[in-house]
Structure 1
Amino acid sequence: MALLKAVSYLESRSEVDKNRIGMAGSSWGGFFTTLMVGIDSRLKVGSCLYGTGNLQLGNAWWDGNSKNGREPPSAAERARWHNTLDPAWRLPTKKTPIAWFTGTNDQFYFLSGVMQTYDMAAGAKHLTLVPNWDHALPQVIHDESVMAWLDEHLQEKRRFPRVSPVEVKNDQGRLIARWKFAGDVEQADLIASYGEPGNWRGRYWHSFAATIEGGDCRAELPAGTLPCLVSGSVVSASGLRSSTRLARVDSQALGVTASIPVPAYDGCQEWGGFEAGQIAYLDRHHRGGQTRWVPRVSDDAIEGKHSAILEPGQTALPPILSTATVPHRFTCSLKADSPVEVIVQLGGEQRSFRIGTSWTEVQL
């Protein structure tokens, strides 16, 4: 009711054009923006940073780190939520433009819910997916993009490129992804995550550069024995990113032979080198309300420019991204001012290492 009254108040103001009222929100604000677009036709546009609908498909409060001891809802309770309280269920009845801007690994609003909510929207819609980011986004997307979508529909300033769905086909034994776009585009990429849907917070997303020719994008997708989810994106000169909805790809079904389940990757690559961009990644998440380790750095590094300083006591590393069902190996290099015993723990496994004054590689 408070939000409905807020729109009524804006309409009552003489300086407000009632035909140019929109709504934007972050996290729960995105949840309520999705809700209001489905309820209140007086809104001309909605722009959602993180928050979404279809929470019955998974969310932090029912299925993740914010359960606080609560039992997850039953299937019947989730169905009741979906058909009564969920903010997305009215979207098919409205033509109001709406956009969602999110990281692929958002721990609060799972990507499965974003995808289904996007599919339900009946009006003009937009999607921006940023691979391997949780409940935080780079500054240019966090600030500029959300407002740019409002400008596009309230001030008639078209800024976002439009994209067609991505398609992946067998092209002479190789998996080739193609999608089209309209608008001013400077670069394009394909993101892919191997394994069946699930493990939304922890799954790793590969990024593959795409070529642009006219209004067409093309990227090769490495084949894996595991199926994968893919999305194509284009980026404008001003940094505005437009993404396709996810598509599922099965190499075997397309007749492409694969010898490995997933291409090799570093599940710590977003932060594990402790260079300036990686520290910024940690800091953006920390500022976004997620307590993250943002280390002091040292110029004494085994590779690159920096290493992280581990303070005495216990240090909880940021999430290490992975692929379900596939064995992984954690590797790091350690050194100390004087010999010390270091315990490395990963899940239920831990090992003790004697670390000296030279760089020592340890694995788990």
Structure 2
Amino acid sequence: MLSFIEKENHFHHREEVNFIPDSPWDLARLSQMPNIYPLFEDEASGIKAIFYDGVSYKGNKTRVFAYYGVPEAKGERPENPPLVPGILLVHGGAGSAFAQWVKLWNDRGYAAIAMDLEGQIPFSSYEELSGESRIDTNTVPTEFSSHPWSGPAKQGVFADYAEPPQDQWFYHAVAAVLSAHTILRSLPGVDPDRIGVTGISWGGIITSLMAGLDKRLRFAMPIYGCGYLYEPGTFYGAGFAAMPPDYAEKIRRLWDPSSYLQHSRIPMLWVNSNQDTHFPLSIFMKSYAHYEQNNADAHLHSRISIQHGLPHSYSAAWSCPESYAFADSITGAGPPLIRITQSEQCGESLQISFDSQIEVTEAVLYWCEEAADWRRTSWNRVQAVVVQEETNVEQGTATVALPYGNCAFYMELANNNGWRTSTALMKKN
């Protein structure tokens, strides 16, 4: 296998990086190539395992474990193949770097890197890295272990708040993603102008923050995760409530995505369940609104996909076709998801106007009585009537009668490929 050291002359070591005011990360340094330590490669998939340098922890050097893969580009001229787009894969709790996740994206034509964020390796012991280590792209590992260069592990909900910011887990996690981006965009065959990020749960939190922090990104897709974590009535809000007030305010300012989303100018896909136990719609929709209000083009290129009963798991998140379709639409490999152009309440009815290059086959209104706890809401489902214009089949409307009384609701539209787009959560006028 050709190591990183042998290929180093292909790398771009430094880029111009736009700074975010008051960011605790040294973005200029994290845009420079970290040292890379190759481990092994899976010959069947071409996926490689590496360590790369992380930021220092309590004065000690750290390394981050990662898997990455670059698919073979396909084009009309084999002697000059096109560059492939890329994706950063950010895991959540009870997770690590997943080779299976990398392969899912490689199989779709994307270079991908999945990094561990908790000072772990996806093996039961460090000794497994030596000798005949194998990359399993068919099974998600459930055993993780530390290694000699481990940084901090996640402690509850920012439970390490009293540590200096540079020794807190979240600082290290975001830095690891920033460096992974630097690595991915420097690989031969990867288009540095078509790299996005997606993350699940805690990874969705980091993805939401990265959307406003890393100006090199082309798009971002948080799944479940969002900002406004400090608000009461949520799993994360309880963690903030347990902190002394001065620390809670400091952590909010440093790590909550609501401190960064206003800087995002990239397309975003927001995916969540309408009953998620960790990220209720109250803070999810508030995060989207904060992003949208500060991005004049959000209504053109960004989408929401609120999915009824979507489980909170890696397998469920990986199975959402909307993420792959959205990435393809931004990188020029496929048509866009349905775009909702207008939402209008007319008396006791709701009418949604939309654009879609693929036939819209279903529209459903989900409504509920206004909930005190969005995590336990009981949703009602009403079929809407879809009409697409005969002269312009890419445009149409969906209309449905609203229930009597006060209620909250959103409409979900699905196209012939099963890709779902939602309106924002609304209340009856």
- TM-score bin, normalised by smaller chain: 0.5 to 0.7
Is structure 2 residue 326 aligned with structure 1 residue 149? yes
Tell me if structure 2 keeps the 8 A contact 1:165–1:244.
no
Alignment counterpart, residue 222 of structure 1, candidates 403, 410, 422: 403
Indicate if the aligned counterparts of 2:230 and 2:236 stay in contact, CA closer than 8 A: no
SS in 2 for 1:11: helix
| Gap regions ≥5 residues in structure 1 | 251-364
Question: Which residue is 2:355 aligned to?
Answer: 182
Once the two structures are TM-superposed, the CA of residue 239 in structure 1 deviates from its matched residue by: 0.6
Percent of aligned pairs with the same amino acid = 25
2:178 matched residue in structure 1 = 4
Matched residue, 2:98: none
Q: Does the Cα contact within 8 Å between 1:234 and 1:241 map onto a contact in 2?
A: yes
Letter in 1 for 2:204: G
Deviation digits for residues 276-319 of structure 1, max 9, x if unmatched?
xxxxxxxxxxxxxxxxxxxxxxxxxxxxxxxxxxxxxxxxxxxx
Letter in 2 for 1:223: Y
User: What is the CA deviation profile of residues 311-343 of structure 1, one whole-angstrom value per residue up to 9, with x for unaligned ones?
Assistant: xxxxxxxxxxxxxxxxxxxxxxxxxxxxxxxxx
How far apart in 2 are the matches of 1:210 and 1:77? 48
212, 220, 235: which is aligned to 2:414? 235
Task: Give structure 1 regions of 4+ aligned residues with deviation exceeding 3 angstroms.
Answer: 70-84, 136-143
CA contact (8 A) 2:235 2:278 kept: yes
Contact 1:178 1:219 in 2 (8 A): yes
What is the total number of aligned residue pairs between the two structures?
238
- Picking from 13, 20, 25, the partner of 2:199 is 25
Output the aligned Cα RMSD. 2.5
CA distance in 1, matches of 2:204, 2:178: 16
Measured in 2, the distance between the counterparts of 1:240 and 1:137 equals: 19
Counterpart contact for 1:56–1:79, Cα < 8 Å: no
Q: TM-score, normalising length from structure 1?
A: 0.60
- How far does residue 164 in structure 1 lie from its aligned partner after superposition? 3.2
Amino acid of the structure 2 residue aligned with 1:127: I
> Residue 60 of structure 1 aligns with which residue?
235
Q: CA deviation at 1:52?
A: 1.1
Within 2, Cα distance between the matches of 1:74 and 1:249?
38
1:114 aligns with 2:288: no
Per-residue CA deviation, residues 152-177 of structure 1 (Å, 9 max, x unaligned), is 1123422301013533232xxxx211
Q: How far apart are residue 115 of structure 1 and its match?
A: 0.4
Query: 1:209 and 1:19 mapped to 2: Cα distance?
Result: 41
Paired letter, 2:195: I
**3-state SS of 2:230 partner:** helix
User: 1:272 corresponds to which residue?
Assistant: none
Work out whether residues 187 and 236 of structure 1, in 8 Å CA contact, stay in contact via their aligned partners in 2. Answer: yes
Task: Supply the distance in 1 between the matched residues of 2:245 and 2:365 (Cα, whole angstroms).
Answer: 34
Following superposition, the deviation at residue 62 of structure 1 comes to 3.2
Paired with 1:21 and 1:113, the residues of 2 have a C-alpha distance of 27
* Residue ranges of structure 2 left out of the alignment (5+ in a row): 1-174, 389-395
Change beyond 3 A, Cα 1:60–1:11: same
Structure 1 residues 231, 78: closer, same or farther in 2, change over 3 A? farther
Q: Distance in 2 between matches of 1:209 and 1:156?
A: 32
Task: Say whether the 8 Å CA contact 1:57–1:112 is kept in structure 2.
Answer: no
The offset of 1:127, in angstroms, is 0.5
* Per-residue Cα deviation, 1:3-50 (whole angstroms, up to 9, x for no partner): 111111112212211011111111111111111111001110111211
Structure-2 change in CA distance of 1:74 and 1:235 (3 Å): farther
The alpha-carbon distance between structure 1 residues 87 and 97, as it changes in their structure 2 partners (threshold 3 A), is same
Please tell me whether the aligned partners of residues 229 and 236 of structure 2 are also in contact (alpha carbons under 8 angstroms): no
Partner of 2:387: 213
**Secondary structure of the residue that 2:188 maps to in structure 1?**
coil
Amino acid at match of 2:369: Y
Query: Normalising to structure 2: TM-score of the pair?
Result: 0.51
Q: In structure 2, do the counterparts of structure 1 residues 119 and 61 end up closer, same or farther at CA, with 3 Å as the change threshold?
A: closer
Q: Counterparts of 1:53 and 1:89 in 2: how far apart (Å)?
A: 8
Alpha-carbon distance change, 239 to 76 in structure 1, aligned in 2, over 3 angstroms: farther
Q: Whole-Å Cα distance in 1 between the matches of residues 245 and 282 of structure 2? A: 16
Query: Structure 1 CA distance, aligned partners of 2:318 and 2:385?
Result: 23
Question: For 2:385 and 2:315, how far apart are their aligned partners in 1?
Answer: 24
